[in-house]
Structure 1
Amino acid sequence: MSRPGEPSSDRVLTVPNLLSFLRIALIPLFVALIVDRDTTFSGLLLFAGVAWTDWIDGFLARRLGQVSELGKILDPMADRLAMGAGLVALALRGAFPWWAAGAILVRDAAVLCAGVGLFWRRRVRLDVRPIGKVATFSLMAAVTWISWGNLGYALDDAALTLGWVSFAAGIIEYYVAAGLYLGDLRRALAEAA
C-alpha cells in the first residue's frame, strides 16, 4: 500500500483504517449468510462488497494523505481474513472447490508465517507489492464469480468463464508475488543481521 517516499503516520482513526476495521467486522456476517442456504446470495454480495472496499481504502489512504503504519498492517490483514473466511464458507456451502481454496490458503499461510516470523524476530515489516494487490483483487473477483456460477444464479455460464479466467491470472500473480515477498524477506534478514 505504501510507495517509496510516501509519508506515513501513527494515526489510528483514519477513514481507510475505519474501512479496514469495518471489513473485518463484516466477516462473521457474510460467513453466516453464505453458509445458510436461504441467504447465500446476500452473503455472496456482501463478500463482493468487502472485496471492493479493499481497493477503496487504499485509494482513500493515498488520496486523503492518510497512509498510516497501522493501515499498512491492517489492510493486508483484513484482506487475508476476508479471503480465508470467504473461501472456507463458500467451499463448505459447495459453491467453491476445495482444491482451488487450498491453492490460495496455502500461499497465504506461507507468506503470513514468513512475515510474522520476520516481524517477531527483527521488527521488520514487508511492504505490500502492487502485484500482490492485483492478485488479491483478481482472486476475490474469481471467488465471487465462480461461486455465483456454481450456485446457478443468472448468467451462471458467463460468471464461471469469467471466474476461471480471473482465477488463472490471479493464482499466477499470487505465487509470483509470494516469490517476490520471499526475496524481500531474505534481503530484510540480511540487512537486519
Structure 2
Amino acid sequence: MSETSAEDRIWTVPNLLSFLRLLGVPVFLWLVLGPKADGWAIAVLAVAGFTDWLDGKIARAFNQTSRLGRIIDPAADKLYVFSTIVALLVRDIIPWWLVALILARELFVACFIPVLRKHGYRALQVHFLGKAAMFNLMYAFPLLFLASHTGWYAEMARVTGWAFAVWGTGLYWWAGVLYVVQVRRLVTATTKE
C-alpha cells in the first residue's frame, strides 16, 4: 500500500474510536443536562479519555495514522471540552470567567488559521504541551462534577479539580502561544524562499 493511500484511509481502528468518541458527546450532554446522571456522565468522559489515549497508541504502533484521524481526533477533544464547560456552566458548577478563558484561547488560535492556509499549510502538528493541557482539563471536569455533590469526596474533588482546571487552562494558553510562534516561523521561512 502506498504512503498516499495509507494517509487517505478512513476505516481504521483509531478512526473508529474517534467516531465513537464523537457519538458520546450528545450522550454526555443529555446525561448531564437531562436526568443529571453525573456518575454515568463521568463514565462517558472517562471512556472518552481512555479511547483518546488508545487511538493514538494504536495509530502509532500499527501505522494507522491518517489524514481523517488528524482531523477527527482533535475535533472530538475540542467537542468534549466545549460540551463539558457548557454543561458545567449551565449547572452553575464553574464560573463564566473560566469558560471565557478557554473559549478566548480557541478564538485566539483560530485567528491564525487563515494565515497558515494563505501560506499553503493546513494545520500544525499537535504540540506535547497542548496534549498536556487537554489531559489536565479532561481530569478537571469530572472532578468538578464530583465536587458539586455532597459526598465525603466532594472537598478533595473540588481542590484537585480546580488545580487541574487552573493548570490545564494555563497550559492551554501556553500551547496557544507556542502555536502562534510556530505559525510565525513558518510564515517567515516561506516569505524568505
Q: Same fold (TM over 0.5)?
A: yes
Q: 1:93 to 1:159 in 2, by over 3 A?
A: same
CA RMSD of aligned residues (A): 1.9
Which residue is equivalent to 1:150?
148
Which residue is equivalent to 1:59?
57
**Counterpart amino acid of 1:89?**
A
**Counterpart amino acid of 1:49?**
V
Q: Which has the larger radius of gyration?
A: 2
Q: Tell me, which stretches of 5 or more residues in structure 1 are unaligned? A: 1-7
Which residue is equivalent to 1:122?
119
Q: TM-score, normalised by structure 2?
A: 0.86
What count of residue pairs does the alignment treat as equivalent?
Answer: 185
Which residue is equivalent to 2:10?
12
* Equivalences for residues 17-36 of structure 1 within 5 A: 17-36=15-34
Q: Contact 2:116/2:187 (CA < 8 Å) preserved in 1?
A: no
Larger displacement relative to structure 2 (15-24 or 93-102) = 93-102
Q: 1:113 to 1:54 in 2, by over 3 A?
A: farther
Q: 1:153 to 1:100 in 2, by over 3 A?
A: farther
**Counterpart amino acid of 1:27?**
V
Q: 1:86 to 1:35 in 2, by over 3 A?
A: same
Which residue is equivalent to 2:3?
none
Q: Tell me, which stretches of 5 or more residues in structure 2 are unaligned? A: 1-5
CA deviations on 1:78-114 (whole Å, 9 max, x unpaired) are 1111110111012112233322222212112322342
**Counterpart amino acid of 1:92?**
V
Q: Percent identity?
A: 35
Which residue is equivalent to 2:45?
47
**Counterpart amino acid of 1:105?**
L
Larger displacement relative to structure 2 (163-172 or 21-30) = 163-172
**Counterpart amino acid of 1:52?**
F
Which residue is equivalent to 2:139?
141
- Give, in whole Å, the separation in 1 of the partners of 2:110 and 2:52: 18
